[in-house]
Amino acid sequence: MELLLKKVQKKHLALISELARTLNIEIEEPTELGYTSEFVAKIKRSEEDFKAGKYKAIKTSDLWK
């Protein structure tokens, strides 16, 4: 069985970790979302371009022409 804890306060993390070790429960540290820094920069740049009006809107009817 797997259990995922969300919104754990930092002050409680040590207590929860110690309890898990006492009960011989395996603790797995969360990994990053897998996004590279280049990808994140590209998405942020795209969001900034959109806010600045640097985009081209295409009508749905023109998508398959």
Where residue 34 falls (left for φ over 0; alpha for ψ -120 to 50; beta otherwise) is: left
The residues spanned by each domain of the chain are: 31-55
pTM above 0.85, yes or no: no
Contacts of 16 (CB under 8 A, 6+ apart): 5, 8
Which DSSP string do the residues of 6-24 spell out, in sequence order? -S--HHHHHHHHHHHHHTT
Over residues 19-61, the pLDDT tens digits come to 999 999 988 876 666 788 899 899 999 999 999 999 999 999 8
Where residue 7 falls (left for φ over 0; alpha for ψ -120 to 50; beta otherwise) is: left
In this structure, the number of other CB atoms found within 10 A of the CB of residue 20 comes to 14
